[in-house]
């Protein structure tokens, strides 16, 4: 399967979230905690065990939520003081289980796929 995720604004939340949240709950977190417009970017949320992520984005006339659960291992995410901005290539590396932080200085003009 190939899914393209692109945005000039991709933010990782600065703390784990309750994964019972759906689109409305995550949208509220984007506004209240991240101080962003949920219609303007991709927002990455993770659980405490770091084995699941949800990505919230806007597509034309409605929200899209992508959910990924790792069967083994953990995502390379850690709580930060602020939300972390990443690029599409780093998002792809995160989703496939690579430590995207080591790739920070690598620029990619390719689309992000997973």
Which residue ranges make up each domain of the chain? Answer: 10-103
The distance from CA 104 to its chain's CA centroid, rounded to whole angstroms, is 16
pLDDT band at 43 (very low <50, low <70, confident <90, very high): very high
Residue 96's pLDDT band, with cuts at 50, 70 and 90, is: confident
Residue 107 has pLDDT above 60, yes or no: no
Residue 105 has pLDDT above 90, yes or no: no
pLDDT of residue 99: 83
Largest CA distance in the chain: 36
Average pLDDT over all residues of the chain: 87
| pLDDT score recorded for residue 104 | 55
């Amino acid at each position: 399967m190939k899914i393209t995720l692109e945005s000039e604004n991709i933010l990782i939340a600065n703390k784990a979230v309750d994964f019972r949240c759906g689109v409305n709950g995550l949208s509220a977190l984007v506004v209240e905690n991240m101080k962003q417009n949920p219609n303007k970017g991709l927002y990455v949320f993770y659980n405490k065990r770091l084995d699941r992520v949800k990505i919230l984005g806007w597509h034309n006339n409605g929200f899209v939520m992508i959910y990924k659960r790792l069967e083994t291992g953990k995502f390379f995410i850690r709580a930060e003081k602020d939300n972390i901005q990443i690029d599409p290539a780093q998002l792809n590396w995160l989703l496939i289980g690579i430590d995207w932080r080591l790739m920070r200085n690598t620029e990619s003009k390719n689309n992000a796929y997973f």
